[in-house]
């Protein structure tokens, strides 16, 4: 993920505040160490059950901002036999929970506290036995509230943009944002980075719209009521936070890397510039495949640009989602060199290896995702624009890290933090990226890679 630039600005303001109040530092530090949330050891999530396959059939209610979902999730006990299953499911109406046996749904007992679904299975399952749970549910992301009553608007997982067409000239879109643990706001799952599952998502949408999800578009079916059902299949396992859906009026520009499809989804107004914005993508895929010694591992690579995105960009497996910052007209793009837009495109692409193919087992280990993606920006700068541009990018990142003295107090891998999103900081990104760059120089590139 790349965090929105305005968050960095806020960080700078916090730094200024920090410097201004440096005299009061001992009291501030003491207060911080008393934060009870900092006392919690944030290890990897316990594995009781493993996700195997997730099949979803969803349709959208634009008026109510609801998702009507049917899910068939295949699971097995991780190692110990168990007769229970807990799924994360945020702010949903749960209508049916059943186990599928010989094609029939056998209802199961469950309790639901608006955040997680505790299911009593029909028997004790061994770790060698897969079973499939069927869930009929409604996701209501706009009504999602924490128990304390605070709306977690930045973590609602599923976003309806201008759903009533009340804002003139603004497109109607639906898109999702799974990281950190918000996919469970639109489908029940074990919403942890140390889970991986294959998936299949069928989306029924107004026929005039285009859809995008992970993996390949397996089928499209026109329905009598003016809708169309698109089914996307993801045949290699990935973590739930990397699931994605997007629906709207997008023009698709198709490109290619070796024999794989590379595509760019843009609003019609920006479609003429698709080539200028994104067409260096296959060249970067080739460079990263060679330098890593592992070819791009997925079956396609799509990039989509959406409205009102809540962060900078997100590396959903095979389907990166960008905020509108990446767009530009021919005139604007002519002035671009190795700017924020281009470094983000290569950053999200590198995540397809570090983040998506290999995944941090917990947020404490976020360095596996973000330090490597940050470092990849320097690699590409150096390869494409030369040593000076690589060094400049490296130095800018170092300076950003040094700007905030609080950064020096944090370990790269941290098992104590206030909230998981605190891990998405200049230590996980900038410091980690610089450490990798140092290691490359220290070991020599041959040994490092
Ligand atoms: Zn990232």
Least confident of 64-73, 105-114, 145-154, 311-320: 145-154
Exposed e or buried b per residue across 406-425, where buried means at least 16 C-beta atoms within 10 angstroms of its C-beta? ebeebeebbeebeebeebbb
Q: How many angstroms is it from 394 CA to the middle of ligand 1? A: 16
Q: How many angstroms is it from 339 CA to the middle of ligand 1? A: 16
Task: Give the per-residue pLDDT at 12.
Answer: 42
Listed residue (448, 177, 429, 439) closest to 311, CA to CA: 177
- 33-38 own/partner pairs: CB under 8 Å, 24+ apart: 35/418, 37/417, 37/418, 37/419, 38/416, 38/417, 38/418
Task: Give the per-residue pLDDT at 144.
Answer: 87
Q: How many angstroms is it from 135 CA to the middle of ligand 1? A: 32
Q: How many angstroms is it from 54 CA to the middle of ligand 1? A: 25
Task: Give the per-residue pLDDT at 22.
Answer: 44
Q: How many angstroms is it from 366 CA to the middle of ligand 1? A: 10
- Total of domains in the chain: 1
Burial class of residue 108 (count of CB atoms within 10 Å of its CB; 0-12, 13-18, 19+) = middle
Which secondary-structure segment (H or E) carries 156? Answer: none
Q: How many angstroms is it from 179 CA to the middle of ligand 1? A: 11
Q: How many angstroms is it from 370 CA to the middle of ligand 1? A: 5
Structure-model confidence comparison of residues 7 and 428, the more confident one: 428
Please say if the pLDDT value at position 27 is more than 70.
no
Please say if the pLDDT value at position 29 is more than 60.
no
Q: How many angstroms is it from 2 CA to the middle of ligand 1? A: 5
Helix (H, G, I), strand (E, B) or coil at 401: helix
Average pLDDT over residues 359-374: 98
Q: How many angstroms is it from 356 CA to the middle of ligand 1? A: 11
Q: Is residue 330 part of a domain?
A: no
CA–chain centroid gap for 405, Å, is 29
Q: How many angstroms is it from 24 CA to the middle of ligand 1? A: 34
Torsion of CA 73, 77, 83, 84, to 10 degrees: -60
Q: Is residue 104 part of a domain?
A: no
- Percent with pLDDT over 70 in the chain: 92
Within a 10 A sphere around the Cβ of 383, how many other Cβ atoms? 17
d(CA 405, CA 437): 21
Query: Residue 101 — very low, low, confident or very high, per pLDDT cuts 50/70/90?
Result: very high
Q: Is residue 364 part of a domain?
A: yes
Decide if 175 contacts 203 (C-beta within 8 A).
no
Least confident of 16-25, 261-270, 417-426: 16-25
Q: How many angstroms is it from 313 CA to the middle of ligand 1? A: 8
Domain containing residue 397? 5-34+360-448
CA distances from 309 to 177, 299, 351, 447 (A): 9, 26, 19, 40
Q: Is residue 422 part of a domain?
A: yes
Q: How many angstroms is it from 305 CA to the middle of ligand 1? A: 16
Task: Give the per-residue pLDDT at 34.
Answer: 85
pLDDT, averaged across the chain: 92
Residues measured by CB to lie within 5 Å of ligand 1, the ion: 1, 370, 373
Please say if the pLDDT value at position 154 is more than 50.
yes
Please say if the pLDDT value at position 19 is more than 50.
no
Exposed e or buried b per residue across 329-347, where buried means at least 16 C-beta atoms within 10 angstroms of its C-beta? eeeebeeeebeebbbbbbb
d(CA 54, CA 103): 17
Please say if the pLDDT value at position 161 is more than 90.
yes
Q: Is residue 372 part of a domain?
A: yes
Here the CATH number for the domain that contains residue 401 is 1.10.390.10
d(CA 290, CA 42): 36
Query: Residue 33 — very low, low, confident or very high, per pLDDT cuts 50/70/90?
Result: low
Listed residue (403, 394, 395) closest to 426, CA to CA: 403
d(CA 449, CA 446): 6
The pair of three-digit structure tokens given for residue 117, joined into one six-digit string: 């679904």
Q: How many angstroms is it from 351 CA to the middle of ligand 1? A: 7
The pair of three-digit structure tokens given for residue 98, joined into one six-digit string: 């059943």
End-to-end CA distance of the chain: 23
Least confident of 152-156, 244-248, 288-292, 312-316: 152-156
List, in sequence order, the alpha helices (H) in 240-322. 274-278, 281-292
Please say if the pLDDT value at position 17 is more than 70.
no
Q: How many angstroms is it from 176 CA to the middle of ligand 1? A: 16
d(CA 32, CA 18): 13
Q: Is residue 26 part of a domain?
A: yes
d(CA 212, CA 203): 9
Handedness of CA 375, 377, 381, 384 (dihedral sign): positive
Q: Is residue 373 part of a domain?
A: yes
Q: Is residue 292 part of a domain?
A: no
Q: How many angstroms is it from 315 CA to the middle of ligand 1? A: 7
Average pLDDT over residues 192-203: 98
Handedness of CA 51, 53, 57, 59 (dihedral sign): positive
């Amino acid at each position: 993920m790349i965090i929105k630039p305005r968050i960095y600005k806020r960080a700078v303001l916090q730094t200024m505040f920090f410097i201004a109040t440096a005299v009061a530092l001992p009291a501030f530090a003491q207060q911080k160490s008393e934060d009870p949330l900092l006392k919690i050891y944030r290890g990897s999530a316990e594995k009781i059950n493993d996700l195997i396959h997730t099949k979803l059939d969803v349709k959208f209610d634009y008026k109510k901002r609801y998702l009507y979902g049917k899910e068939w999730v295949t699971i097995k006990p991780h190692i110990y036999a168990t007769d229970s299953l807990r799924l994360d499911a945020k702010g949903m109406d749960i209508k049916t929970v059943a186990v599928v046996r010989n094609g029939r749904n056998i209802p199961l007992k469950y309790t639901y506290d608006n955040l997680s679904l505790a299911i009593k299975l029909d028997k004790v399952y061994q770790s060698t036995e897969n079973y499939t749970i069927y869930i009929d549910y409604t996701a209501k992301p706009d009504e999602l509230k924490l128990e304390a009553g605070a709306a977690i608007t930045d973590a609602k997982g599923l976003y309806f943009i201008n759903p009533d067409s009340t804002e003139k000239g603004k497109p109607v879109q639906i898109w999702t944002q799974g990281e950190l643990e918000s996919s469970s706001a639109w489908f029940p799952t074990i919403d942890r980075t140390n889970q991986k599952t294959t998936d299949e998502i069928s989306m029924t949408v107004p026929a005039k719209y285009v859809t995008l999800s992970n993996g390949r578009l397996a089928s499209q079916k026109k329905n009598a009521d003016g809708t169309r059902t698109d089914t996307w299949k993801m045949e290699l396992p990935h973590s739930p936070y990397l699931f994605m859906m997007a629906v709207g009026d997008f023009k698709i520009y198709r490109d290619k890397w070796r024999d794989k499809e590379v595509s760019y989804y843009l609003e019609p107004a920006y479609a003429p510039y698709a080539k200028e914005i994104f067409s260096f993508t296959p060249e970067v895929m080739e460079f990263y495949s060679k330098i890593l010694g592992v070819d791009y591992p997925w079956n396609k690579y799509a990039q989509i640009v959406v409205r009102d995105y809540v962060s900078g960009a997100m590396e959903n497996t095979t389907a990166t989602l960008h905020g509108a910052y990446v767009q530009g007209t021919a005139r604007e793009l002519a002035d671009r060199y190795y700017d924020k837009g281009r470094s983000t495109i290569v950053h999200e692409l590198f995540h397809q290896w570090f983040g998506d193919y290999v995944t941090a087992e917990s947020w404490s280990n976020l360095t596996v995702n973000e330090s490597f993606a940050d470092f990849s920006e320097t690699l590409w700068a150096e390869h494409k624009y030369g040593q000076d541009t690589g060094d400049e990018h490296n130095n800018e990142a170092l300076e950003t890290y040094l700007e905030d003295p609080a950064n020096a107090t944090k370990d790269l891998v941290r098992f104590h933090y206030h909230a998981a999103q605190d891990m998405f900081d200049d230590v996980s990104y900038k410091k980690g990226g610089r450490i990798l760059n140092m290691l490359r120089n220290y070991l020599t590139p041959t040994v490092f890679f």
